[in-house]
Structure 1
Amino acid sequence: MKAIVYTQTGDPSVLQIVERPVPRPGAGEVRVRVVVSGVNPTDWKSRRGQGVLSAEVSETIPNQDGAGVVDALGDGVTGFAVGDRVWLHLAAYQRPSGTAQEFTVLPANRVAPLADAASFDVGASLGVPAMTAHRALTVAEDGPNRLHPGALAGRTVLVAGGAGAVGHAAIQLARWAGATVITTVSGAEKAALAEAAGAHHVVVYTEGDTAGTIRALAPAGVNLIVEVAPAVNAALDVAVAAPRASVAIYATDGGGSVTLTAGPNMAANVRYQFVLLYTVGQPALDAARDDVSAAAADGVFAVGADAGLPLRRFTLEQTAQAHAAVEAGVVGKVLIDVAPPA
């Protein structure tokens, strides 16, 4: 089979295509024929030797997310059958074998059924973005720890950066769960994407009084903020927060240090929760996997420009270019076509 590997960290040029034997699943593992592999920022950061995904291994196959078809089952695996459509998550976390290959073997709890309503493109776009969004939407002290239709009814959610992959997923999940969704974006092009994703209100933060506009849309304040740039948005977040609001921080765009003004935050009992998918613990991962699968079965996670998430496609041989595109901050979702669907 064909696989993409790197044996040293560095820029995209360290990625090479090689031939490897088809791996065999061990006990508790599932082998999947990968149809589409998804690329996330954590994938290039790991390749660069940054962050929690870094590991000292002689050979690494990158990419956390993907979708495909169950090809073989290891001993003791239940709930799956050969031929099942599935989506994959955390394929390369604490393991050297991700989805940038024709066949991959994963622990069964990192494999989830992919409903017929969801394409392989959707499946490969879930994983890190959708599960991160799920966690961000379920950390509020007064909110639900699971998502389903009605779980966020009566609540207002602010999604910072609604044109990004996590922001896109957060908009779709929050709306599915019944929230009123406000999002902020930098300009008209991204506003169109956030609207297509399903946000009820889109605020262009480069125009006018952002806090005042959000307060006009949510006079009682925002209950939950899904935050991508806390260093930039700290003052805005507390200005629009409802009493006992939560700010779920999943990235540090704009700087790694955050300055909070104690008085207003204390007065509103604002809660700050940092979110990193890889260390949230298995119960939270299981909840995210199951709720995201249910949402996908309901047709929630549309992708493509018309749904607010343009797709940028590459072949397996072009994995280096795919990584470079994500590293350069391309708008939309980068997917690698590994094999035909059937």
Structure 2
Amino acid sequence: MKAAWYDDRGPARDVLQVGDLPKPSVQAGEVLVRIHASGINPSDTKSRSGAGARPNVFPRVIPHQDGAGVIEAVGEGVDAGRIGQRVWVYEAQLGRPFGCAADYTSVPAINAVALPATTSFEEGACLGVPALTAHYCVTADGPLEGKFVLVTGGAGAVGFYAVQFARHEGATVIATVRTEEQARVAREAGAQHILYRLKDDMVAGIARITGVEDGRGIDRIVDVAFGANLDTSLKVLKTNGSIASYASDQTPVPALPFWQLIRLNATVRYVLVYAMSREAHAKAIAAVTDALAKRTLKHHIAARFALDRIIDAHEALESGQTVGKIIIAMDAN
């Protein structure tokens, strides 16, 4: 089968290779999926570079946690009726060496979820890490009907789904962005209000939107940059509010202002999708499945690359210049 892999950690151009590898076998409890599209996440590029949050102990790695395709074989204990089923795949490379940047991958059957015919393989490959992360960040701290949610980076892969899930839960959503293009994407997701991080006064803008004079009108924050945004978060979060953050790249070791947080009785969640409970995964998958069936879940693809151009795809994600999900279209090879 055609696949991309790396044997050493480092820059994409130095370590990624494309060629032929043996098709994986399917073990008991697993399914073999013919991958049609694979999505790239920051955790994939960080793992490849050696900067990831998870151990990466395998001597050879086929990257990418997320993908979509068709089940071609099943292992012992798996319903043979699943053969031929369209699926989206999540966490394919979690604790395993071989992910979705290949013609085939084998994963535990639970990690391959039915994909409706109305959702393309490329759209299915957008799900996985971003959608599961977003759902948990939005819903982990209770109902949102009538509340205000601030989604920082509302046009990002996680933020785009977080806006949608928050709207579905009945929240008013404020999304922060940097550019007009990002604003357009966040509005497409359903954000009712947009604030420009580089030029707007965040506190004043939130005060105006929420009607809370001092700006402390946010019930829940879904945060892409915990350390960089913490000062503002503490100024706009309500008492008993919560922050759910899944990244802090700009300030990787933030200082925690304990007394400010305790005075708010704030909840701070540090969200790593790979460590989420099985219950949290199941709730998120159910929400995604329901939204796909109702055709209410939107997806935003920034760029598509053939597998032969996986180096360009990784570099495009790492540049920070793309808005939306980057996809490897296996059928383009």
Partner residue of 2:131? 130
Partner residue of 1:91? 92
CA distance in 1, matches of 2:27, 2:256: 49
Instruction: Give the Å deviation of 1:263.
Output: 4.5
1:266-300 residue CA offsets vs partner (Å, 9 max, x unmatched):
33221111001111232222222222222222223
Alpha-carbon contact 2:228-2:248 (below 8 Å) kept: no
Shift of the 199–79 alpha-carbon distance from structure 1 to 2, 3 Å rule, reads farther
Alignment partner of 1:314 is 2:305:
yes
Residue of structure 2 aligned with 1:323, choices 311, 314, 319: 314
Residue of structure 2 aligned with 1:171, choices 138, 154, 163: 163
TM-score by length of 2: 0.92
CA distance in 2, matches of 1:45, 1:261: 28
* Mapping of residues 235-314 of structure 1, within 5 Å: 235-303=231-299, 309-314=300-305
Partner residue of 1:30? 31
More moved, 158-167 vs 189-198: 189-198
Task: Give the secondary-structure state (helix, strand or coil) at the position aligned to 1:206.
Answer: coil
Instruction: Give the Å deviation of 1:338.
Output: 0.8
1:54-80 residue CA offsets vs partner (Å, 9 max, x unmatched):
422221111010011111111111496
Partner residue of 1:147? none
Partner residue of 2:179? 187
Instruction: Give the Å deviation of 1:121.
Output: 1.7
Partner residue of 1:149? none
Instruction: Give the Å deviation of 1:96.
Output: 0.5
More moved, 211-220 vs 7-16: 211-220
> Which residue identity does 1:187 align to in structure 2?
T
Partner residue of 1:212? 204
Partner residue of 1:112? 113
CA distance in 2, matches of 1:244, 1:64: 35
CA distance in 2, matches of 1:253, 1:171: 21
1:177-207 residue CA offsets vs partner (Å, 9 max, x unmatched):
2221111112322212211221011111222
CA RMSD in angstroms comes to 1.8
CA distance in 2, matches of 1:80, 1:38: 26
CA distance in 2, matches of 1:328, 1:300: 30
Partner residue of 1:8? 8
Alignment partner of 1:222 is 2:213:
no
CA distance in 2, matches of 1:215, 1:79: 56
Alpha-carbon contact 2:243-2:267 (below 8 Å) kept: yes
Instruction: Give the Å deviation of 1:20.
Output: 2.2
Alpha-carbon contact 2:39-2:67 (below 8 Å) kept: yes
> Which residue identity does 1:315 align to in structure 2?
A
Task: Give the secondary-structure state (helix, strand or coil) at the position aligned to 1:58.
Answer: coil
Alpha-carbon contact 1:116-1:297 (below 8 Å) kept: no
CA distance in 1, matches of 2:10, 2:41: 16
Instruction: Give the Å deviation of 1:330.
Output: 3.2
Greater relative contact order, per chain length (Cα 8 Å cut-off, separation 6+): 1
CA distance in 2, matches of 1:262, 1:3: 48
Structure 1's unaligned 5+ residue stretches are 145-151, 304-308
> Which residue identity does 1:287 align to in structure 2?
K
Task: Give the secondary-structure state (helix, strand or coil) at the position aligned to 2:24.
Answer: coil
Task: Give the secondary-structure state (helix, strand or coil) at the position aligned to 1:38.
Answer: strand
Task: Give the secondary-structure state (helix, strand or coil) at the position aligned to 1:213.
Answer: helix
Instruction: Give the Å deviation of 1:84.
Output: 1.1
Instruction: Give the Å deviation of 1:112.
Output: 0.8
CA distance in 2, matches of 1:29, 1:164: 32
TM-score by length of 1: 0.90
Alpha-carbon contact 2:37-2:68 (below 8 Å) kept: yes
Shift of the 79–188 alpha-carbon distance from structure 1 to 2, 3 Å rule, reads farther
Partner residue of 1:203? 195
> Which residue identity does 2:62 align to in structure 1?
I
Runs of 4 or more, structure 1, over 4 Å off, are none
Alpha-carbon contact 1:6-1:61 (below 8 Å) kept: yes
Instruction: Give the Å deviation of 1:127.
Output: 0.5
Instruction: Give the Å deviation of 1:246.
Output: 0.5
Instruction: Give the Å deviation of 1:264.
Output: 4.1
Instruction: Give the Å deviation of 1:215.
Output: 2.0
CA distance in 1, matches of 2:81, 2:90: 16
CA distance in 1, matches of 2:255, 2:60: 40
Equivalent pairs counted in the alignment come to 326
> Which residue identity does 1:2 align to in structure 2?
K
